[in-house]
Structure 1
Amino acid sequence: MVDLSIKGKTVLIAGGAKNLGGLIARDLAEHGAKAIAIHYHSAASKAEADATVAAVKAAGAQAEAFQADLTQPGAVAKLFADAKSAFGAPDIAINTVGKVLKKPIADTTDEEFDSMFAINTKVAYQFIREAGKHLADNGKLLTLVTSLLGAYTPFYSTYAGSKVAVEHFTRAASKEYGARGISVNAIGPGPMDTPFFYGQEGADAVAYHKTAAALSPFSKTGLTDIEDIAPYVRFIVSEGWWMTGQTILVNGGYTTK
């Protein structure tokens, strides 16, 4: 019988220091997680990682922050090994790491293309691969993608293009890991009210996105708020275990597939 509770579970969150990753860490701690390994990228986000660790501990869970540039050779494998050494085999692994670029295809450099696919595609693949090696039986694996996978739009070719591969990684892994009771899914939020979004958008685009979703009038920002996504993440990695191999767009009616 699959244990559907968050209580007593060990969690690894890549990109867990801030924004949605940080909220997920705090939310799972508040719902009974035993221990949370929080990855952050660099010294620039150390203070936020430390604050999230403190919040998780205050909620009653164990926590430790792990710094790593996951694009470096062996870094994803080391992150799983370090988290496992600290807290035991993770029951839940969540990858929120990503990079966005809004740029016409004709203006996109090879260096930008390589960087986007290194972070959004290669790291995601390695995270799914290492999760298959290290997750406990009946574990849950979730990757953050984007609702642009359901959009017909210019300028996001490398962002959506580098994330769409994760859809098939997810399907394949769900088949391969299912014999161990592991469910594998991806979740695609709409444009979120975080610095990740605003850094790429001009004022006109921001104004459009704030009105583009069917439920925009009922959102505090008009955008997808991180508080809208965290409950879905919690559901997918607990009671939602029977759903596997899926990419779910959660965006208030911003786009659909």
Structure 2
Amino acid sequence: MSEQPSTSPRVAIVTGGSRGIGRESAERLAREGCAVVVNYAGNAAEADKAVAAIAEAGGQAVAFRADVAEEAEVAALFDLAEKTFGGVDVVVHAAGVMTLAPLADLDLDALDRMHRTNIRGTFVVDQQAARRLRTGGAIINFSSSVLALALPGYTAYAATKGAVEAMTLILARELRGRDVTVNAVAPGPTATALFLDGKDEETIARMAAQPPLERLGTPEDIASVVAFLAGPSGRWVNGQVLRANGGIA
């Protein structure tokens, strides 16, 4: 960690920070003492709620809209973090999209949208992070446990997350000598809007029963893993994919 005054907090950027796992991660990092930039794509009202919740708990946060696949917008996101809080120490790239359909039926526009957000977005965010993070920093990407589960209907989404894992492991090696860790979290079925949307109760119940712990994950479960990787206890974990899924795979 770079030398900073004791009154200066670590600074975290959380993409997709207005909802779900991203929002819970932003609030958890704020409780751990980070100043947080909550990135969002379109839902300003939810991003403002996340900032307000952090402020009410005594933390520091601002919201900033940026398309994670646009280089100039992501650069502006990092500029804001540096100008507002003095630098960037942690990047949690939680933004992502998912469309489910068998490979034979998936609309190619949906494939392109997932590719743009999940693959190009990870590349663009990680590129800025690799250039700008201070010594002692942490980059945390998001994969998915569907890679191991190989569930029908997830072909395109799982393919994008396979690319995220490849980028994560290679970037960790490319940052040799920087004292910056790069890891990915791969949640299993987690009770977020992204997961629950379009699934009937029977499907949700069946998936909740699959892990040995016999429940869906929660955003709080995943945020705890993020906080571990972002904090001092996780410094020796690098170039890894942590499958936070209750033992489902």
TM-score interval (norm. to shorter): over 0.9
**CA distance in 2 between partners of 1:242 and 1:200 (Å):** 39
| Cα distance per residue 1:185-243 (max 9 Å; x no partner) | 00011111111111132333212111111111xxxxx2111111111111111111111
| Cα distance per residue 1:42-99 (max 9 Å; x no partner) | 1xx2121111111212233221100122234522222222222222221111000111
Residue 65 of structure 2 aligns with which residue?
A: 67
Residue 38 of structure 1 aligns with which residue?
A: 38
2:156 counterpart letter in structure 1: T
Q: Which blocks of at least 5 consecutive residues in structure 2 are unaligned?
A: none
1:168 counterpart letter in structure 2: A
Q: Which SS does the other structure have where 1:107 is aligned?
A: coil
Residue 101 of structure 1 aligns with which residue?
A: 99
Q: Is the contact made by 1:98 and 1:120 (CA closer than 8 Å) also made in structure 2?
A: yes
Residue 244 of structure 1 aligns with which residue?
A: 238
**CA distance in 2 between partners of 1:15 and 1:245 (Å):** 22
Q: Is the contact made by 2:16 and 2:94 (CA closer than 8 Å) also made in structure 1?
A: yes
Give me the TM-score of the superposition, normalised by structure 2: 0.93
Cα RMSD for the two superposed structures: 1.8
Between the two proteins, the alignment pairs up a number of residues equal to 245
Structure 1 position 2, deviation (Å): 8.1
Segment of structure 1 superposing worse, 11-20 or 200-209: 200-209
Structure 1 position 10, deviation (Å): 0.7
2:62 counterpart letter in structure 1: E
Residue 86 of structure 1 aligns with which residue?
A: 84
Residue 10 of structure 2 aligns with which residue?
A: 9
1:230 counterpart letter in structure 2: A
Q: What aligned pairs does 1:147-162 form with structure 2 within 5 A after superposition? A: 147-162=145-160
**CA distance in 2 between partners of 1:234 and 1:155 (Å):** 31
Q: What aligned pairs does 1:100-249 form with structure 2 within 5 A after superposition? A: 100-216=98-214, 222-238=215-231, 239-249=233-243
Q: Is the contact made by 2:68 and 2:125 (CA closer than 8 Å) also made in structure 1?
A: no
Moved over 4 A (4+): none
Structure 1 position 32, deviation (Å): 1.7
Q: Is the contact made by 2:69 and 2:124 (CA closer than 8 Å) also made in structure 1?
A: no
